[in-house]
Chain A
Amino acid sequence: MNKTVMVVDDSASVRQVVSITLKSAGYDVVEACDGKDALGKLNGQKLNLIICDVNMPNLDGISFVKELKKTTQHRFTPVIMLTTESEEAKKKEGQAAGARAWIVKPFQPAQMLNAVAKLCLP
Chain B
Amino acid sequence: MSSNPALNEARDTFFAESREMLQVIEDTLLALESNAADDETINALFRAAHTIKGSAGLFDFERIVRFTHVVESVLQRVRDGAIRLLPPLVSLLLVCGDQIAALLAEAEADTLAKSPAPHPNTDAHGAELVAQLNDYLAPAAAGGALLRTADPIAEPVPAAHGGVASEHWHISVRFGPDVLRNGMDPLSFVRYLGSLGRLISVSTVFDGMPDAATMDPETCYLGFEIALMTDADRQTIADAFEFVRDDCALRILPPHSKLAEYVQLIAAMPEDDIRLGELLVRSGSLTEAELAAGLSAQGQRRVPGEAPPQLGEILLGQQSVEAPVLNAALDKQLRVRERVAQESRFVRVRADKLDQLINLVGELVVASAGVNLRALALKDAALQEATASLTHLVEQIRDDALQLRMVQLAETFNRFNRIVRDTARELGKEIELQIEGGDTELDKTMVEKLADPLMHLVRNAIDHGIEAPEVRAAAGKPRCGTLTLAACHDSGSIVITVRDDGAGLSRERLLKKGIERGLVAPGDQLSDSEVFNLIFAPGFSTAQTVTELSGRGVGMDVVKRNIQALRGVVSLGSEPGRGTTVTMRLPLTLAIIDGFLVGVAGAMFVVPQELVIECIEAPALDLQQDYLNLRGEVLPFLRLDQMLGSVGEPVATRNTRRSSVVVVRTGSGKAGLLVDSLHGEFHTVIKPLGKLFQNIRGVSDATILGNGEVALVLDVSALVGSAATRLQGGTVPAHGSRALAQAV
- Residues of A at under 8 Å CB distance from B? 10-14, 16-18, 20, 53, 55-57, 76-80, 82, 84-87, 89, 98-102, 105-109, 115, 117-121
Contacts and interface: CB of A to CB of B under 8 A. Distances in A.
Contacts of B4: 20
Interface stretch (B183-191, B311-319, B426-434): B183-191
B195 A105 contact: no
B57 A106 contact: yes
Interface of B: 4, 6-7, 9-11, 13-14, 17, 44, 46-47, 50-51, 53-60, 65, 69, 72-73, 76, 80, 141, 144-145, 180-185, 188-189, 191-192, 195, 239-240, 242-244, 247
Interface of A is mostly: mixed
Given A55-B47, A76-B180, A120-B188, A13 B11 contact: yes
Contacts of B60: 108
Contact of B73 (A86, A99, A118, A121): A86
B227 to A, nearest CB: 19
A17 B65 contact: no
A13 B55 contact: yes
A98 B183 contact: yes
A20 B10 contact: yes
B195 A117 contact: yes
A105 B11 contact: no
A84 B175 CA distance: 27
B632 to A, nearest CB: 71
A14 B54 contact: yes
A100 B13 CA distance: 30
B447 to A, nearest CB: 34
B242 A118 contact: yes
A53 B183 CA distance: 17
Given A13-B55, A120-B188, 6 more contacts: A11-B54, A85-B145, A87-B76, A100-B247, A106-B53, A106-B55
Given A13-B14, A119-B243, A121-B192, A84 B54 contact: yes
Contacts of A76: 180-181, 183
B13 A12 contact: yes
A79 B183 contact: yes
Contact of B55 (A11, A102, A119): A11
Nearest to B12: A13
Q: Which of B17, B191, B243 has the most CB of A within 10 A?
A: B243
Contact of B58 (A98, A102, A107): A107
B53 A105 contact: yes
B13 A121 contact: no
B183 A13 contact: no
Given A13-B14, A17-B10, A20-B10, A82 B243 contact: no
Contacts, number: 121
A10 B51 contact: yes
Q: Which of B76, B144, B189 has the most CB of A within 10 A?
A: B76
Nearest to B64: A106
20 contacts: A12-B17, A13-B17, A13-B58, A14-B58, A53-B54, A57-B44, A78-B184, A98-B181, A98-B183, A101-B242, A102-B243, A105-B53, A106-B54, A106-B65, A107-B58, A117-B192, A118-B188, A118-B189, A119-B184, A120-B188
Nearest to B182: A100
B188 to A, nearest CB: 5
A115 B58 CA distance: 15
For the complex of A and B, list the 9 residue pairs with the smallest distance between their C-beta atoms, beginning with the closest. A106-B57, A78-B183, A13-B14, A16-B10, A105-B54, A101-B243, A13-B13, A86-B76, A17-B58
A111 to B, nearest CB: 10
B192 A118 contact: yes
Contact of B47 (A10, A82, A85, A117): A10
Contacts of B47: 10, 55-57
A109 to B, nearest CB: 7
A100 B57 contact: no
Contacts of A10: 47, 51
A76 to B, nearest CB: 5
A13 B242 CA distance: 27
Nearest to B137: A86
Contacts of B11: 13
Given A86-B72, A107-B58, A100 B80 contact: no
Contacts of B56: 106
Contacts of B145: 85-86
A51 to B, nearest CB: 12
